[in-house]
Structure 1
Amino acid sequence: MTFLPTPRLRDVRLRHARLLLATALLPLAAPVWAETPNAPAQTSFAHPADPTKGGAGGRIIRVTTLAKDGPGSFKEAIEAKGPRIVVFEVGGVIDMGGTELVIKEPFLTIAGQTAPSPVTLIRTGIDLHGHDVIISHLRIMTGAMDKPHFSGWEPDAFSTVAAHNVVIEHCSFLWAIDENMSASGPRFTGKTVQDWRAGTSHDVVYRENLAAEGLAFASHSKGEHSKGSLIHDNTTNITFYRNVWAHNVERSPLVKGGAQVAMVNNIIYNPGHRAVHYNLMALEWAGHDYVTGEITAVGNVMRGGNQTDPGLPFLMLGGDGDLAFYGKDNRAVDRHGLPLPMFGRYGETKAKLITSDKPLAKLDGYTILPSGDVETSVLSSVGARPWDRDPQDIRVLFFVAEGRGDIIDDEKQVGGYPHAAEKRAPFVEAAWDLTTMTPKNGAYPGQKVGAQEKLSDRDKAMRQGGV
């Protein structure tokens, strides 16, 4: 794995921050999001064909209420049977009140981009047990809900559970009590490695998501548990493309024994004790032959923040099992722009890092940016509805650009749950390409012009030349 030194990295990063503050969070004006206002808005970053079409061709189910359940609710829509595309005729906050959502029925597309304003689920998390599912442009803000420490309220913001053929794109996951976005399931199902891999999550794509501020000392039964992503033992073909992990103590991501992961053009900001790490634990694999894990990492950026341990490596190896690794053009710097090591380990065990001279995962079809271009590009397009961002997403992304922000214990430290006003608008089927779930005229609901900054009244007056 190589480190590309940049003599004036701090100056470059400041220029990037200024650019972001002025224009980069402007999807309408940036070629990253739309070529012209009247052209179909689309990401310009190519990627291989997705492992599923979700609910394409199925019936349209309209979400018409922000109630947590009942007729017209989001819960009712995801629990419906048969191929279906879930669209929204209402935007705002869906308060699940501590009830976690479970998706079991396959062939589902959830299109948060159709809502008149951002759809935010609070006090909840989603566990996906099914297959052939696409979820786009949702926000999930789990939070501690004033639960006591060690009380056992510990949902993921989002996780697959032995699911396969899944695409999670342009979602924002904040304030999880367990992980923010994961791929999980049983460790051993059947007698062979092939059985194990078939029985847990596989063929999962995480693309353009924000996974931030996993709560550290909240209600998890294990105590501190600010975690980004857990990629469980024997999961395979798990892809992270153009995501941001920010302000998580560990697991950005943690790859467990025998798992196979590709990481391309992601940002890891302010990791605490570990960034990327691999661990096949002997305590968990007792009686089973070890399987070598695989990580392919290309064009990723790790940048230290206020809580990042001095000298933290990009990749750390723990446990007993070996890791095959291919790395190219990855950067790791501390909060001052000074280089950090690429590799370290925790635990004095026999685990070996086996470097490869060629990718271990297929990278054909991806637009892969040089690591020096990743920060500006990814921050401009990541997360839910980048054309119509929520204030908390704006805060997190601007802080990443500015080198600010902290690992937190409770959502109230950063303002607490949102209270967005309900908005309504009909979903006009003829106005949308139902294959790609993009508007035919290129204009998404709520699409804004101008920098999406969160400004105080005084700041607004100053921007307008007032006093």
Structure 2
Amino acid sequence: MKIRRLASQIVLPILMVASTPALLHAAPLEPTRGGEGGRIIRVTTLAKDGPGSLKAAVEAKGKRIIVFEVGGVIDLQRTILNIDEPFLTIAGQTAPSPGITIVRGGIDLKGHDVKISHIRVMTGVDGQAKLSGWEADAFSTVAAHNVIVEHCSFFWAIDENMSTSGPRFNGKTVKEWRAATSHDVLFRENLAAEGLADASHPKGEHSKGTLIHDNATGITLYRNVYAHNMERSPLVKGGAQVLMVNNMIFDPGHRAVHYNLMNLEWAGHDYVTGEITAVGNVMRAGNSTAPGLPFLTLGGDGDLAWYSKDNINVDRWGNPAPMFGRYGVTKAKLIEKDSPMASLGGLDVMPAKDLETSLLASVGARPWDRAPDDIRVLFFVAEGRGEIIDDEKVVGGYPHPSPTAAPFVDKDWNLKTMEPKSGVYPGQKGGAQEKLSARDEAMRENAK
């Protein structure tokens, strides 16, 4: 059985979606069903905590599905939303338009069997001084396992936009190390954009896409878009095992995909060879991209086993760019493999040449009900515009949509798939979604 693609993944004009988009269904690839079959918990307030809040819902125990009877912004006020309790589904698609956007914070997932869909997280520097120590990820797993993160939009992280992490060496064997850190995590159809560079991270420049930490295994990146991140799209650390299929990397800065097992971090431990299977991915240079940037760069001391098929790397003008390079004069070896090291079973793999239009129509939160910043970034990718930024204010700052409310009616939804029985999602719009100025709107109207 193959994963059924969103209706919006059919090749359509940019940012158009079909009238009845469908969420992805369970398939052999999926590591969890989250809270399927559990009780319904309704989020009824946009407050960061207290009764009816998202925080209260994720802290509840037992198998559960979180739905939303409110739409708008949840301001975490420079705190982190921790998810520790397992068997959870967060169904952002159930919120009334404009959906759920989390600002001034991030999500750390420390549990297992969790599925998160159609949430926006916009972390931001929030006026904090450079190097001052505010360093939140937009989203990260922390020694979590059996996780699906799909159709989310992650913006303006101070560390990674979309990461999977945990301890390196808990246990006495490689098997125990891998069991104790993040494993079996699927990132699907997400938009990870505009990690902030010269902001408040204590290490200085830190515009990053995805970190896949040492010894993390079973990590799948399927149909995601990275845009305007300096590095880590993704960075795979020592001994990790990663499958990359049909992702797009636009306007990486100094590195795109890179592998690095650092002796400084592995001192006293035998090295473990990392694995990356990369099929049908596209990298396209932008305004911030270093000239001649390779698709994959190898650093550190540890070896990388690498399988590559139908991957494309081009410069700003569509000319072929290098596929491999190094940053460091070390003994690390690239071990090229003749066959995939991870199963592609359950994946509908597109040819790389057809990928861009399909991805831009479908990735991110609520493609039927786009937020202005998602529209801006996706149009910039399509147009070859935009750049790496230091502060969310340079692109307009945090959103302030008016709060909305609407009841969640159980009988109107398929509670197994979390799709509306009518086929129409809250706030669903038809045709192309554009963010137009008042002048543009007037000109379009006058032309009719």
TM-score range, shorter chain: over 0.9
Match of 1:213 in 2: 194
Distance 1:362 1:43 in 2: 19
* TM-score for both structures, normalised by structure 2: 0.96
Distance 1:202 1:54 in 2: 15
Match among 332, 353, 363 for residue 382 of structure 1: 363
**Residues 110 and 135, structure 1, Cα contact 8 Å, conserved in 2:** yes
Match among 91, 98, 116 for residue 111 of structure 1: 91
- The answer as to 2:169 corresponding to 1:188 is yes
- The answer as to 2:113 corresponding to 1:123 is no
Q: CA RMSD in A?
A: 1.4
Match of 1:283 in 2: 264
Distance 1:129 1:364 in 2: 27
Match among 19, 23, 47 for residue 13 of structure 2: 23
Look up the equivalent residue of 1:206 and give its one-letter code.
F
Q: Which runs of 5+ in 1 are unaligned?
A: 1-18, 35-40
Distance 1:250 1:154 in 2: 16
* TM-score for both structures, normalised by structure 1: 0.92
Spell out the pairing of 1:297-316 with structure 2 (5 A cutoff): 297-316=278-297
Distance 1:452 1:386 in 2: 9
**Residues 29 and 345, structure 2, Cα contact 8 Å, conserved in 1:** no
Match among 225, 228, 234 for residue 215 of structure 2: 234
Match of 2:46 in 1: 66
- The alpha-carbon deviation at position 47 of structure 1 amounts to 5.7
- The answer as to 2:81 corresponding to 1:97 is no
- The answer as to 2:347 corresponding to 1:366 is yes
Distance 1:296 1:108 in 2: 29
- Secondary structure (helix, strand or coil) at the match of 2:289 reads coil
Look up the equivalent residue of 1:53 and give its one-letter code.
R
- The answer as to 2:316 corresponding to 1:346 is no
- The alpha-carbon deviation at position 28 of structure 1 amounts to 2.4
Distance 1:153 1:43 in 2: 35
- The alpha-carbon deviation at position 27 of structure 1 amounts to 1.4
Look up the equivalent residue of 2:67 and give its one-letter code.
V
Query: Deviations along 1:120-165, whole A, 9 cap, x unmatched?
Result: 0000001000000000000000000100011100010000000000
- The answer as to 2:48 corresponding to 1:77 is no
Match of 1:10 in 2: none
Match among 144, 152, 168 for residue 149 of structure 2: 168
**Residues 105 and 138, structure 2, Cα contact 8 Å, conserved in 1:** yes
CA gap of 1:300–1:382, structure 2 versus 1, over 3 A, is same
Look up the equivalent residue of 1:276 and give its one-letter code.
V
- The answer as to 2:243 corresponding to 1:244 is no
Look up the equivalent residue of 1:334 and give its one-letter code.
D
Distance 2:143 2:292 in 1: 36
- Secondary structure (helix, strand or coil) at the match of 1:379 reads helix
CA gap of 1:27–1:47, structure 2 versus 1, over 3 A, is farther
Spell out the pairing of 1:404-443 with structure 2 (5 A cutoff): 404-443=385-424
- The alpha-carbon deviation at position 24 of structure 1 amounts to 3.1
Query: Deviations along 1:92-146, whole A, 9 cap, x unmatched?
Result: 0011111111000000000000000210000000100000000000000000010
- The alpha-carbon deviation at position 254 of structure 1 amounts to 0.1
Look up the equivalent residue of 2:346 and give its one-letter code.
G
Q: Which runs of 5+ in 2 are unaligned?
A: 1-9
Match among 274, 282, 306 for residue 293 of structure 1: 274
Distance 1:356 1:465 in 2: 59
Distance 2:445 2:298 in 1: 52
**Residues 13 and 357, structure 2, Cα contact 8 Å, conserved in 1:** no
Match among 179, 192, 198 for residue 179 of structure 2: 198
- The answer as to 2:41 corresponding to 1:51 is no
Distance 2:402 2:358 in 1: 31
Look up the equivalent residue of 1:292 and give its one-letter code.
T
Q: Which 4+ stretches in 1 moved above 4 angstroms? A: none
Distance 1:286 1:96 in 2: 38
Q: How many residues align?
A: 438
**Residues 47 and 367, structure 1, Cα contact 8 Å, conserved in 2:** no
- Secondary structure (helix, strand or coil) at the match of 2:277 reads strand
Distance 1:379 1:28 in 2: 13
Percentage identity across paired residues of the two chains: 72
